[in-house]
Structure 1
Amino acid sequence: MVDYNPVWQERFELRAAELRRALGDRARLVEHIGSTSVPGLVAKPIVDIVLGIDDPDDERAYLPDLERLGYDLRVREPRHRCLRIGDPEEPVNLHCYPPDRAEVHRYLAFRDRLRASESDRERYAAVKRELVRRQWRDINYYAEAKSSVIDEIIARSDRDVPPRIG
């Protein structure tokens, strides 16, 4: 884990433009998510991007284009694909979901809350620092260990959204 680096935002912008050029209208949403998307937050230096694809299960409609850009498919789940560019200097995880999926809402709500709330950002950073000191057999256990604080922060985000009028 390292201190925030503004290069991460630049890396996202370059990759996002590349994705939009390659996919055109098929890229319904391209957003920087995860800790590297939050100025001031410590992070593993891996840029995470959520890509809204109408039907991630229809791999023929988009996967060849992503592979031409250098992405390798790492996870295949119903309505979700995760790809990675393994460049050790500029790693990127690409999460493909339908743009209206709950997971997409959670990623964006969490990111936006951390950007807006210094206290939540500091709380999350403290939890990450504590957890990174432990030995993990699998990175998924580390991710699971963060889930309760993430849920807590998202709940505050959802609660603080003003009601829609009209």
Structure 2
Amino acid sequence: MKPNARKSRDNCIEAMKLWRQHAVEHMDSSVKDDAAWDPEWGLGAIKRRNKLVDATEGLFEEEGRASIDLALIWSLNSNVIPASFWYLTEVLASKDIFERIQNEIEHECGPGIASSGEMLDPVRQINNALLQAVYAETLRLHVATLITRTVKKGQTVRSWLL
């Protein structure tokens, strides 16, 4: 229905191929595999996922790899704004959670962090159990995720067999 859409998608897939080639060529072996962030790969999970795809021994061609990389990045980014909105809404809606989060941040960074202009350390915040719990609950309640599911036992729904 939109002929240019295919061209746009093809351009994105070509860009993903170039990005992956660059990441592989410039990968820093001193960055641990379990690191949350990698200078070339970005999110550490992307680097680890790439290693898993490498282990499939040629199951995916470059075009297929680029397509699934594009889908993953698209889905990760499509949840950023709704997840951020709902996270903030949930925190502000509960005085108890808001105060607990403020206390956690002040405990880790010191009082007056907001007015000092000092930047928060994202790694410390990502590893904070309370912030992780609120984020996980926010995702569970409000944000759509693209998770592959497998039916373990056949089930009939009207005329469809799952």
Q: TM-score, normalised by structure 2?
A: 0.32
Higher percent of residues as strand = 1
Which structure's CA Rg is the greater one? Answer: 2
